Amino acid sequence: MIRIHRRASPPAVLLSKGLARRQQHETDIDADLASYSSEARKLEFDRNIYAHESVKRDLVQMQHEKCAFCEAKPLHVSDGDVEHFRPKREVRQDDADEPRRPGYYWLAYEWTNLLFACERCNRRHKRSYFPLVDPARRAQTHRDAVADEAPLFIDPSAEDPRPYISYREHVPIAINGNARGERTIVQLGLRRRELSADRERHLSQLQTLHMAASLPDVPANLRARARTDLAKLIAPEAEYSLMCQIAVEALGGLPPSP
- Please report whether residue 165 resides in a domain: no
With a pLDDT cut of 70, the percent of the chain lying above it is 100
Return the closest-CA partner of residue 118 out of 58, 45, 59, 200: 59
What's the pLDDT score for residue 258?
81
Of 96, 115, 149, the domain-final residue: 149
User: Which of the listed residues 86, 121, 149 is the one where a domain comes to its end?
Assistant: 149
36 and 134 inside one domain: yes
Query: How far out from the chain centre does Cα 135 lie?
Result: 21
> Residues 255, 227: contact at Cβ < 8 Å?
yes
Is 120 a domain residue? yes
Is residue 65 domain-shared with residue 132, that is, in the same domain?
yes
Residue 25 contacts residue 105 (beta carbons within 8 Å): yes
Q: Do 130 and 209 lie in a common domain?
A: no
The whole domain housing 228 covers 193-250
pLDDT at 18: 98
User: Longest C-alpha distance within the chain, in Å?
Assistant: 76
Q: Which of the four pLDDT bands, split at 50, 70 and 90, describes residue 77?
A: confident
Answer yes or no: are the C-beta atoms of 129 and 186 closer than 8 Å: no
pLDDT for the residue numbered 68: 97
Domain annotation covers residue 187: no
> Is there a single domain that holds both residue 19 and residue 145?
yes
How many domains is the chain partitioned into structurally? 2
**The whole model's pTM is what?**
0.94
Buried b (16+ CB within 10 A) or exposed e, 80-106: bbbbbbbbbbbbbbeeeeeebbbbbbb
Q: List pLDDT tens digits, range 86-136.
A: 999 999 999 988 899 999 999 999 999 999 999 999 999 999 999 999 999
What mean pLDDT value characterizes the chain?
Answer: 96
Instruction: Please state the length of the chain.
Output: 258
Mind listing the pLDDT tens digit for each residue in 32-69?
999 999 989 999 999 999 999 999 999 999 999 999 99
Verify that 21 and 115 share a domain, yes or no: yes
Contacts within 8 Å (CB) and 24+ apart, 52-55: 52/11, 52/13, 52/14, 54/11, 54/12, 54/13, 55/11, 55/13, 55/14, 55/82, 55/111, 55/114
Amino acid 76: pLDDT: 87
* Helix H or strand E segment including 162: none
Q: Please check whether residue 81 lies inside any domain of the structure.
A: yes
pLDDT at position 222, please? 95
Check whether residue 16 and residue 111 sit in a common domain: yes
Domain C-terminal end among 149, 173, 208: 149
Please check whether residue 68 lies inside any domain of the structure.
yes
Categorize the per-residue pLDDT at 181 as very low, low, confident or very high, splitting at 50, 70 and 90: very high
